[in-house]
Amino acid sequence: MPTVSVKRDLLFHALGRTYTDEEFDELCFEFGLELDEITSEKDIISREQGDTKAEGASDVILYKIDVPANRYDLLCLEGLVRGLQVFKQKMEAPRYRRVSPVSSEPQRLVITEETTAVRPHAVAAVLRNITFTQERYDSFIELQEKLHQNVCRKRTLVAIGTHDLDTISGPFTYTAKPPGDIRFKPLNQAKEYTAQELMSLYKTDSHLRHYLHIIEDKPVYPVIYDSNGIVLSMPPIINGDHSKISLNTKNVFIECTATDLTKAKIVLDMMVTMFFQATELAYRKETLSADFINRKVGISESTEHIAQLLTKMCLRSEVMSDGEQIEVEIPPTRSDVIHACDIMEDAAMAYGFNNIPRTTPRTYTVANQLPLNKLSELLRQDLAAAGFTEALTFALCSQEDIADKLLKNISETRACHISNPKTAEFQVARTTLLSGLLKTVAANRKMPLPLRLFEISDVVLKDETKDVGARNNRRLCAVYYNKSPGFEVIHGLMDRVMQLLEVKPGQGNGYHIQAADDSTFFPGRCAEIFARGKSIGRLGVLHPDVINRFELTMPCSALDIDIEPFM
Amino acid sequence: FSPAQETLLQRVEKVDGGLDSQDVATSLGVDHQAIVGAVKSLQALGDVISAEQRSSKHWELTGEGCEIAEQGSHEARVVSSIPKEGMPQSQLMKLAFGKVGFSKAMSNKWIRLDKGHEGGPRIFKTVERLEDLVRDKLLLVQKGQASQLEEKEKNELKKRKLLSEVTVKSYWITKGSCFSTTITKQETELTPEMIASGSWKEKKFKPYNFEAMGVAPDCGHLHPLMKVRTQFRQIFLEMGFTEMPTNNFIESSFWNFDSLFQPQQHPARDQHDTFFLSDPAQAHEFPQDYLERVRKVHSEGGFGSQGYKYDWKIEEAQKNILRTHTTAVSARMLYKLAQQEKFTPVKYFSIDRVFRNETLDATHLAEFHQIEGVVADYGLTLGDLMGILHQFFNKLGITKLRFKPAYNPYTEPSMEVFSYHEGTVLNNGFLRCRSELTI
């Protein structure tokens, strides 16, 4: 959830009243926002860098508000205020109209073919007769940053450039050129640089270096020129200094270059509608019936009332002539509305989720347990009754955990490997529960002996017959850790499990064990378990090397079986 | 029963108030520890005696002090070792007690030093008889009469390391409520022989200590989180929900994301948030017609939706991941349901592990359990969804709930549930649930 930081007093001033913190929290709750934190610049610096650094920082109260990820129209103070005012029916949703410039033709942005190699799309708009106060200016810059971080996916999908229209002249050209051929004075620099020089210059810039990779290795870099050859910007990196916006700027040229055209349009709409009521953009219309809303939500409101509810959410609605249908107008600020169910949700929000009567559906169903889970639940209870304690261990682990530490080769394990682990602890999905249990024992070495642990859970194995190429396997694993290995204890546990599974000892239809060689176990102290003719697992005394590698000191015996054959 | 115990009891009987164990030890001429042992074993028999612990301070001779008490102080010995004609200083200094004794004897004026004597400095006695006060004092202490000395004197001797103050623990012994000079042993437990012979009727039994804890049973335990899981599972079953098969941690991006309408460039599909597999890297089987429909909705829209309008790529959908939610399984189940000849209403649930590739901290792990419920039927409403949640939480004893609008790419409407108690909103950590309603 993106967080917007607004000055509380400015917010209240724009909303036309003050709220207590609780009242505002309540308002946020109804609207689907969350007042995450009440702080000040001073508090923030104090927390991050210590009290001395915070001296002299601003005490002005800031509200940090969490905003739903798909509401780009709520990412700045102006947007929030607008949303809340319309919600509280304090104002009508603004109408956005496009106007033609008084004295001339509309501006043109020409896109050339070269851009397809690197950043193919661009859209642009002009805003006239703006007045910037310091607050508005800051808000304007911050909205660009917010949009860059969120919907623009850190400038990879879309990059926004804003320019003082009076310092440049159209028509504008968006093209792409080899880096050596681009030369201009970038924002806040004293001299001109080529694009290559800028790439090295910004490598150490804490903010811009994260965006260099987007175009760095391309044969051509995007660049926007005006009719006099002045560079407006080199997206997505930096604007030119020449056309920079100041508090005196009256007319703004906004360009959005992108790899995703739909997103570019959404972003441009946001930039334009947030501050200025002076452009027309596409309004969409949907028609639906009051009945649809009533049925889906579970309320029964009149058509007129529903139209009112939707209007509260900036979706201006009117009852149509048949008295049943409602025509809903979706403004450009609501790019999150893409289906009738979105409209239905807004109606429900305006009604108030907590006002909707809670009913029980008449769906009659008989529940069924998944047999594998039913079996696991029964076994768990009985293993605990047998004196063993349940552990819950991670499904992801390092390669060593399932191979080297168990004196096995990783290639024998049929393990599934993770391609992007953040640490070695997430290299593979476990193929055995034994490693997790031994790590649990190691973490509990100080507890009184003997330690008796078990786990009944899934491991992951490669399986070409499955559509994804892997499957889970439900296994039961137990360990006994004490001054003496306790093979007879683990053996006794296994006998008990077989008894619970109603498998009698004996060949044929029963179970039996026979000596086996397994590198994880102490030679001569390992057996394979057969039930109904199939091998289901092993038990034995662990090899001293295994004990060492798991940083344990006492002898240990273990049982590891597959319980899926017993369903 | 030891003679010490019997004698002690007799003594206590005779005396009006009580006895100090140290005194008893001294008068009997036994080690104090023997008396302490007797006291303890008498105590074990019940309330025969009561013994109050006391401590007192008491002066004792140090090793050196004992030596002096025996042989006389260094200075006295110096004097007695000097013959009528005197002794060269150098010779005196060679004696063990010479150095210390010399300076003390000099300050006592028991000797004099003739520095200019021929043959070297020579020491002569100045007195014939002397009072070895130091030795006398030490003897007094040894005899137990330290009280006769003044504090100042005792401290001085302490400074010379001839005396030390020792804390002595003793017991003040008085008659207990069940005092008797005959010691009868109390039984601790009933035995089968006593039951058989009936001899328990004549025996006295030691009282139980009801303040102590019992013996903890040596049992196994279930994991707390799994117990919670069992509880939730039970609630779902009671509400008629059938368990879904979620025993597949590895899922394709198609079922985990695409079929749930999560666009391919969505941040959650990032390397940062999701675990991708290098082996097996791709899924290779999909229901083809369904895949086509999914592709269409993403890129062009459909079913009343405008879609996301981008180029949908099958390579993205084929990528295998560790599932980020069990909703992937729900998607599979709903697809199966849609393949049925005749639609039947269903209620499904699952509680199983999901994975996310995030930086770990105190409250975030890479693996956790997700609880999922799905209801599919005609005519379901938002009110029904909230009703089900209400009943679910009711069974957990949580009755006060509030619902808040939220955002989720594949559910609309979406809400977060908060439980509260008398005005305070409880931490909605594990209670933050996404509610899915298929209408």
| CB atoms A365 and B240 under 8 Å | yes
pLDDT of residue B307: 65
* A439 inside 8 A of chain B by CB: no
pTM (predicted TM-score): 0.68
* A524 inside 8 A of chain B by CB: no
Name the residue with higher pLDDT: A387 or B361. A387
| CB atoms B277 and A394 under 8 Å | no
Nearest Cα neighbor of A198 from A207, A210, A188, A186 is A186
Q: Which two tokens stand for residue B290?
A: 């369904």
What distance in Å separates residue A387's CA from the closest CA in chain B? Answer: 4
Question: Residue B372, Cα to own-chain centre: how many angstroms?
Answer: 37
Domains of chain A from N-terminus onward: 3-88 (3.30.56.10), 109-275 (3.50.40.10), 284-353 (3.30.56.10), 371-566 (3.30.930.10)
ipTM attached to this prediction: 0.72
- Checking if the pLDDT of B306 tops 90, the result is no
Question: Which positions in chain A touch B379 (Cβ < 8 Å)?
Answer: 295
- Checking if the pLDDT of B4 tops 80, the result is no
* A31 inside 8 A of chain B by CB: yes
Q: Which residues 135-194 of A have a C-beta within 8 angstroms of B?
A: 153, 157
Question: Which positions in chain B touch A469 (Cβ < 8 Å)?
Answer: 250, 280, 282-284, 320
pLDDT of residue B299: 83
Query: What is the layout of strands, in order, in the sheet containing A325-330?
Result: A284-289, A325-330, A317-319
pLDDT of residue A99: 67
- Residue B1: pLDDT band with limits 50, 70, 90: low
- Checking if the pLDDT of B436 tops 60, the result is no
pLDDT of residue A102: 65
Q: Which residues 61-120 of A have a C-beta within 8 angstroms of B?
A: 68-71
- Checking if the pLDDT of B431 tops 50, the result is no
Average pLDDT value over all residues in chain B: 82
Q: How far apart are CA B370 and CA B351, in angstroms?
A: 6
The DSSP line for B203-256 is --BPPP-TTS--PPP------HHHHHHHHHHHHHHHTTPEEP-----EEEHHHH
What distance in Å separates residue B322's CA from the closest CA in chain A? Answer: 9
Q: Which residues 463-492 of A have a C-beta within 8 angstroms of B?
A: 466-472, 474
Per the CB < 8 A criterion, the answer to whether A252 and A258 are in contact is no
Amino acid at A252: V
How far is the CA of B405 from the CAs of A75, A206, A345, B156, B414, in angstroms? Answer: 17, 37, 8, 87, 6
Nearest Cα residue in chain B from A31: B405
Question: Which positions in chain A touch B346 (Cβ < 8 Å)?
Answer: 365
Alpha-carbon radius of gyration of chain B: 47
Q: Is the dihedral of CA A410, A411, A416, A418 positive or negative?
A: positive
| CB atoms A426 and B414 under 8 Å | no
Residues in chain A, pLDDT under 70: 1, 95-104, 275-282
| CB atoms B383 and A262 under 8 Å | no
pLDDT of residue A282: 63
Per the CB < 8 A criterion, the answer to whether B89 and B120 are in contact is yes
| CB atoms A390 and B279 under 8 Å | no
Question: Which positions in chain B touch A418 (Cβ < 8 Å)?
Answer: 275-278, 322
* Nearest CB to A363; choose among B247, B320, B377: B377
* Nearest CB to A471; choose among B248, B275, B286: B248
Per the CB < 8 A criterion, the answer to whether B386 and A427 are in contact is no
Residue whose entry in the numeric block shows the structure tokens 């010691």: B183
* Nearest CB to A385; choose among B220, B359, B409: B220
pLDDT of residue A515: 96
| CB atoms B388 and A472 under 8 Å | no
pLDDT of residue A426: 87
Per the CB < 8 A criterion, the answer to whether B46 and B207 are in contact is yes
Per the CB < 8 A criterion, the answer to whether B8 and B185 are in contact is no
Q: Which two tokens stand for residue A510?
A: 């029963």
Name the residue with higher pLDDT: B432 or B240. B240
Q: How far apart are CA A443 and CA A162, in angstroms?
A: 57
Nearest Cα residue in chain A from B382: A297
B5-54 pLDDT per residue, tens = 778 888 888 887 788 888 888 888 888 888 888 888 888 777 788 888 88
pLDDT of residue A278: 34
pLDDT of residue A223: 92
* Nearest CB to B249; choose among A387, A426, A458: A458
- Checking if the pLDDT of B427 tops 60, the result is no
Residue B116: Cβ within 10 Å count: 8
Q: Which residues 267-296 of A have a C-beta within 8 angstroms of B?
A: 295-296
What distance in Å separates residue B265's CA from the closest CA in chain A? Answer: 9
Torsion of CA A241, A247, A248, A253, to 10 degrees: 60
What distance in Å separates residue B177's CA from the closest CA in chain A? Answer: 42
* A462 inside 8 A of chain B by CB: yes
Q: Which two tokens stand for residue A497?
A: 């499990």
| CB atoms A474 and B282 under 8 Å | no
Name the residue with higher pLDDT: A487 or B188. A487
| Mutate which: B236, B241, B250, B308, vs A, most A CBs within 10 A | B250
pLDDT of residue B411: 67
Helical ranges in A352-463 per DSSP H: 371-385, 399-402, 434-443
Q: Which of A394-403, B105-114, B180-189, B239-248 has the lowest mean pLDDT?
A: B180-189
Q: How far apart are CA B434 and CA B439, in angstroms?
A: 16
Nearest Cα neighbor of A450 from A479, A482, A485 is A482
What distance in Å separates residue A134's CA from the closest CA in chain B? Answer: 33
| Mutate which: B309, B326, B382, B415, vs A, most A CBs within 10 A | B382
Q: How far apart are CA B409 and CA B260, in angstroms?
A: 8
* A382 inside 8 A of chain B by CB: no
Question: Which positions in chain A touch B404 (Cβ < 8 Å)?
Answer: 29, 32, 34, 353
Per the CB < 8 A criterion, the answer to whether B233 and B396 are in contact is no
Q: Which two tokens stand for residue B319?
A: 């990528």
Burial class (CB in 10 A: 0-12, 13-18, 19+), A229: exposed
pLDDT of residue A54: 75
Domains of chain B from N-terminus onward: 74-131 (1.10.10.2330), 227-437 (3.30.930.10)
- Checking if the pLDDT of B386 tops 80, the result is yes
Question: Which positions in chain A touch B280 (Cβ < 8 Å)?
Answer: 416, 462, 468-470
- Checking if the pLDDT of B423 tops 50, the result is no
* A359 inside 8 A of chain B by CB: yes
